[in-house]
Amino acid sequence: MTEQNRPQKAVMSAPQPTKSARFVAPACWDRQIWFTNPIFTELVSLFPLQACTDFPTVSELDNWRQLFRPELPVHFVDNALLAADGRYYEAFIYHTQQVPTRQPNWHDLFGALIWCLFPQTKQLLNQLHIREIELHGASSRTPLRNKLTLLDECGVLILYRQQHTNVLEMLREQHWQAAFVSHRQQWQGQSSEPAFAAMMFGHANYEMATRPFIGLTGKMLALAVPDEFFSQSLRQRIDFIDTTLSEQIANQGILFDPQQLTPLPLLGVPGWYTANSLPEFYQNTDYFRPKRVQQVQE
């Protein structure tokens, strides 16, 4: 989050049965989330979440950071330091190299884990926020800051072999049946030689996945990977993604590409939701919506 006072997040969603309901994360720690929800498979393979009987403390999260990313210059501190300091959230991180972390809090838990996974990209996003604030002031939500926040909160990375763009175009055109059903065997976890994979970047996505609902949608950012990518270890893949994504954001303006940050129904990603193993799951056009046809005015 980027708001100075950082109120508890309430995200509008489209859960069943009422579309007006607000998402509310579980009030207490629930270990079963890590055992039963496949969207967290990568996180539980990297961090000792399944062993926790309660929310990890800020000190525990910082210990995880030191073990996973000893080179990471930022560290996690209690959110009370931000409240006492009075600076803007992004400015506090930039000038102190400390990430204010509420506890217990699902949103900040996942935010801390994303810092551990993608430190170069997270630091770059912070630096770009500060540059925009210096140019336009903290209260001005510039187009770039809006893009940065969208990626930070809701981004989901679609990783694809450079010579395979067929499914990528289907996703962008919102041809969900073709991308997720007809070409299911091209996705990681469904094939021994995958051409596509998804990896979460937005920590708000992870927070909402603690109670997955029909309507849960992220913003897709596509990233080409070399052929050997899918045979590498998870840690090697994460390091490649972090380096490549940060370079492309810094040098190529990827965030302003109109083909990036398009909608992606997260529960449709093969392997991320148990019910999507059945083809009929994708027949819900309220969730898997076709792309709107733009009217051309004469």
Q: Is pLDDT above 70 for 183? A: yes
- pLDDT at position 164: 92
Q: Is pLDDT above 80 for 10? A: no
Q: Which of 245, 165, 167 is nearest to 199 (CA)?
A: 245
- pLDDT at position 17: 34
Tell me what the mean pLDDT of segment 5-21 comes to: 39
Domain boundaries, given as residue ranges, for the chain: 32-143, 147-283
Neighbouring C-beta atoms of residue 294, cutoff 10 Å: 6
Q: Is pLDDT above 90 for 35? A: yes
Round to whole Å and give the CA distance between 143 and 135. Answer: 13
pLDDT confidence band for 253 (50 / 70 / 90): confident
Give backbone dihedrals phi and psi of 190, rounded to 5 degrees, phi first. -110, -10
| Of 185-194, 206-215, 222-231, minimum mean pLDDT range | 185-194
Taking a C-beta distance cutoff of 8 angstroms, is the pair 187, 194 a contact? Answer: yes
Round to whole Å and give the CA distance between 65 and 36. Answer: 25
Write the single-letter amino acid at 3.
E
pLDDT confidence band for 294 (50 / 70 / 90): low
Residue 158 in 3-state DSSP?
strand
Q: Which of 74, 141, 79, 170 is nearest to 114 (CA)?
A: 74
pLDDT confidence band for 21 (50 / 70 / 90): low
20's CB contacts (< 8 A; 6+ apart) are: none
Tell me what the mean pLDDT of segment 213-217 comes to: 97
Given the structure tokens 């403390």, which residue do they identify? 57
Q: Is pLDDT above 50 for 39? A: yes
Taking a C-beta distance cutoff of 8 angstroms, is the pair 80, 131 a contact? Answer: no
12 burial level (CB within 10 Å; 0-12, 13-18, 19+)? exposed
Beta bridge partners of 159: 197, 223
- How many Å is the maximal CA-CA distance in the chain? 62
Q: Is pLDDT above 50 for 191? A: yes
Q: Is pLDDT above 60 for 273? A: yes
Q: Provide DSSP, 166-203.
A: HHHHHHHTT-HHIIIIITGGGBBTTBSS-SEEEEE--H
- pLDDT at position 296: 47
Q: How much of the chain, in percent, has pLDDT values that exceed 90?
A: 86
Taking a C-beta distance cutoff of 8 angstroms, is the pair 266, 180 a contact? Answer: no
Taking a C-beta distance cutoff of 8 angstroms, is the pair 261, 221 a contact? Answer: yes
- The CA-atom distances, in angstroms, between 238 and each of 71, 100, 230 are 15, 24, 11
pLDDT confidence band for 6 (50 / 70 / 90): low
- pLDDT at position 7: 37
Q: Is pLDDT above 80 for 131? A: yes
Tell me what the mean pLDDT of segment 68-93 comes to: 96
- pLDDT at position 245: 98
pLDDT confidence band for 12 (50 / 70 / 90): very low
pTM of the predicted model as reported, rounded to 2 decimal places: 0.91
Report the mean per-residue pLDDT for the chain: 91
Give backbone dihedrals phi and psi of 3, rounded to 5 degrees, phi first. -75, 140
Q: Which of 203, 209, 210, 166 is nearest to 187 (CA)?
A: 166
Give backbone dihedrals phi and psi of 137, rounded to 5 degrees, phi first. 95, 155
